[in-house]
Amino acid sequence: MSDERVLGVIGGSGLYELEGMTSVERVRVDTPFGEPSDEYVTGRLGDVRLVFLPRHGRGHRVLPHEINFRANIYGMKKLGVDWILSVSAVGSMRPDIRPGDFVIVDQFFDRTRARPSSFFGEGAAGHVQLADPVCPVLAENVHGAAVAAMEAVGTGAKVHKGGTYIVIDGPQFSTRAESRIYRSWGVDVIGMTNMPEAKLAREAEICYSTVALSTDYDCWHETEEDVSVEAVLAVIRRNVEAARELIRRLAPTISSPRTCGCASAARHALMTAHESISAETRTRLGFILGKYL
């Protein structure tokens, strides 16, 4: 097993334009689950290898419910990624999480429908533990890097440690009634992309953490403008450099071997007798279960 540290980043296509990154190349990955969102961009930052993927494809062509999450995570695993930082634009459900703030999410509430959310199936039944869907070790490092990044770029925005991200299908933003009900449930931010991404990362035994970039107040706030594409894009553009700085500061902090439980999350997941699994399904799941079968 290689001791190389490989950090994956899923988010906007501009994130990988990092000063000091070398050996940059685009890599296409074929998967048993179809095509990923785009080619992966790989490079080196010091002694850490970085793997970037634009979640919506270059030019933002793919709607949230159209994202092939299984292919995206499979490609990360195939390229040797052990840690994934998800960078996601979200709406704030709390008055103290202002547009421009970062939230280091630690919980998810999945309200999506009919998105393929597991690598298991087709004759192989498996279940992984997901009570805490974010890697605590990686999230702690992400929080420290985010605080340092905000101070470095001087935006004046805050970093909030912990929070629940409710994931909806979209592509429409919430109705006012939905937004008010979601707030009554105690969620902190709302978005369309981190489920089933986090579930699949856990099945693939990849450490996963989200930095949620607050862009608006959805449509619940009585004195702020309702969410619009124009407003979202304006805040994202302002936060791109802070997100890049976060990645620069995060990369040196990841350490190998991993000390969390993510690296063995699928060890006892498989419920089906090994001899009952077809050769085709064994091949499809080999990237997860190969060391256990």
Model confidence pLDDT, tens digit, residues 215-264 = 888 887 766 666 566 766 777 777 888 999 999 999 999 988 999 999 99
264, amino acid identity: S
- Average confidence (pLDDT) over 190-209: 98
pLDDT-based confidence at 2, cuts 50/70/90? low
- Average confidence (pLDDT) over 186-202: 97
User: Which of 221, 213, 219 lies closest to 155, judged by CA?
Assistant: 213
Q: Residue 1: what pLDDT?
A: 45
State the Cα–Cα distance between residues 43 and 47, nearest whole angstrom.
Answer: 10
Q: What is the percentage of the chain residues whose pLDDT exceeds 90?
A: 80
- Average confidence (pLDDT) over 27-33: 96
Catalytic annotation present for 218: yes
Catalytic residue among 3, 132, 216, 226: 216
5-289: CATH topology is: Rossmann fold (3.40.50)
User: Which of 64, 45, 148, 165 lies closest to 113, judged by CA?
Assistant: 64
- Whether the per-residue pLDDT at 14 is higher than 80: the answer is no
State the Cα–Cα distance between residues 195 and 211, nearest whole angstrom.
Answer: 14
Exposed, middle or buried by CB within 10 Å (0-12, 13-18, 19+), for 28? Answer: exposed
Catalytic residue among 96, 101, 218, 226: 218
Catalytic annotation present for 216: yes
pLDDT in tens, 254-291: 988 999 999 999 999 999 998 999 999 999 999 988 88
Mean pLDDT of the chain: 92
Burial of 193-206, coded b for 16+ CB within 10 Å and e otherwise, reads bbbbbbbbbbbbbb
Domain ranges of the chain: 5-289
Q: Residue 224: what pLDDT?
A: 64
Exposed, middle or buried by CB within 10 Å (0-12, 13-18, 19+), for 79? Answer: middle
- Whether the per-residue pLDDT at 180 is higher than 90: the answer is yes
Question: What pTM did the predictor assign?
Answer: 0.94
